[in-house]
Structure 1
Amino acid sequence: ETPALVPVATQAVVKTLTSEEARAAKCQILIANTFHLRLKPGEKIIKSSGGLHKFMNWQRPLMTDSGGFQVFSLGFGHDLGVGKVLGFFPGPSFAKASEGKRNIVIDKNAQPKEIKITSQGMHFKSPITGEKLFIGPKESIKIQEDLGADIIFAFDECTPPFSTFDYVKKAVKRTHDWARICVDSKKSRQVLFGIVQGSKFQELRSESAKYINSLGFDGFGIGGDLGETKKDMAKILSWIIPDLDEKKPRHMLGIGRLDDMENIVKSGIDLFDCTVPTHYARRGIAFVNSGLPAESTELAEKARKLDLNKLMFLKDKKPLDSKCSCFVCQNYKRNYITHLLKAKEITAMRLLTFHNLYFFNTFVETLRQKIKNNQI
Structure 2
Amino acid sequence: MSHRCSHSHARCGSFHTPHGVVDTPRFMPVGTLATVKGVTPEQLRATKAQMVLANTYHLHLQPGEQVVAEAGGLHRFMGWSGPLLTDSGGFQVFSLGAINTINDDGVVFRSPRDGARITLTPERSMEIQMALGADVAMAFDQCPPYPASETDVAEANRRTHRWLERCIAHHSRPDQALFGIVQGGTHAHLREESARAVAAMGLPGIAIGGVSVGEPVEAMHRIVRQVTPLLPDDRPRYLMGVGSYREMAIAVAQGIDLFDCVLPTRLGRHGTALVGGERWNLRNARFRHDHTPLDPSCPCPACAHHSRAYLHHLIRSEELLGRILLSLHNLTQLLRFTSAMAQAIREGCFSEDFAPWEQGSPAAHTW
Q: TM-score, normalised by structure 2?
A: 0.86
Q: Does 1:174 align with 2:148?
A: no
The residue aligned with 1:206 is 192
- SS of the aligned residue for 1:115 comes to strand
**Which structure 1 residue ranges, 5 or more long, are not aligned?**
76-112, 290-300
AA aligned opposite 1:66? S
AA aligned opposite 2:249? E
Q: Deviations over 1:77-105 (max 9, x none)?
A: xxxxxxxxxxxxxxxxxxxxxxxxxxxxx
Pairing partner for 2:287 from 307, 310, 313: 313
Pairing partner for 2:234 from 223, 243, 247: 247
AA aligned opposite 2:193? E
The residue aligned with 2:69 is 47
Whole-angstrom distance in 2 between the partners of 1:130 and 1:14? 26
Name the stretch that deviates more: 366-375 or 129-138.
366-375
Whole-angstrom distance in 2 between the partners of 1:20 and 1:327? 13
Q: CA RMSD in A?
A: 1.3
- SS of the aligned residue for 2:109 comes to strand
Q: TM-score, normalised by structure 1?
A: 0.84
Q: In 2, are the aligned partners of 1:196 and 1:212 still within 8 Å (CA)? A: yes
Q: Deviations over 1:296-327 (max 9, x none)?
A: xxxxx4xx221111233221111111221222
Q: Does 1:185 align with 2:207?
A: no
Q: Does 1:224 align with 2:214?
A: no
Q: Deviations over 1:93-131 (max 9, x none)?
A: xxxxxxxxxxxxxxxxxxxx7431110110001100110
Whole-angstrom distance in 2 between the partners of 1:185 and 1:22? 33
1:262 CA drift (Å):
1.2
Q: In 2, are the aligned partners of 1:160 and 1:225 still within 8 Å (CA)? A: no
1:217 CA drift (Å):
1.2
The residue aligned with 1:116 is 101
AA aligned opposite 2:58? H
Whole-angstrom distance in 2 between the partners of 1:159 and 1:186? 24
1:156 CA drift (Å):
0.2
Q: Does 1:26 align with 2:19?
A: no
Q: Deviations over 1:33-55 (max 9, x none)?
A: 11100000000000000001011
1:229 CA drift (Å):
3.4
AA aligned opposite 1:152? A
1:336 CA drift (Å):
1.1
1:12 CA drift (Å):
0.5
Pairing partner for 1:135 from 106, 120, 144: 120
Q: In 1, are the aligned partners of 2:39 and 2:328 still within 8 Å (CA)? A: yes
Q: Does 1:281 align with 2:268?
A: yes
The residue aligned with 1:126 is 111
AA aligned opposite 1:50? G
- SS of the aligned residue for 1:251 comes to strand
Q: Deviations over 1:128-187 (max 9, x none)?
A: 011000101000000000000000100000001121111100110000000000000001
The residue aligned with 2:365 is none
1:11 CA drift (Å):
0.8
1:286 CA drift (Å):
0.7
Map 1:1-376 to 2 at 5 A.
1-74=23-96, 114-189=99-174, 190-225=176-211, 228-289=215-276, 301=277, 304-376=278-350
- SS of the aligned residue for 2:119 comes to strand
1:191 CA drift (Å):
0.5
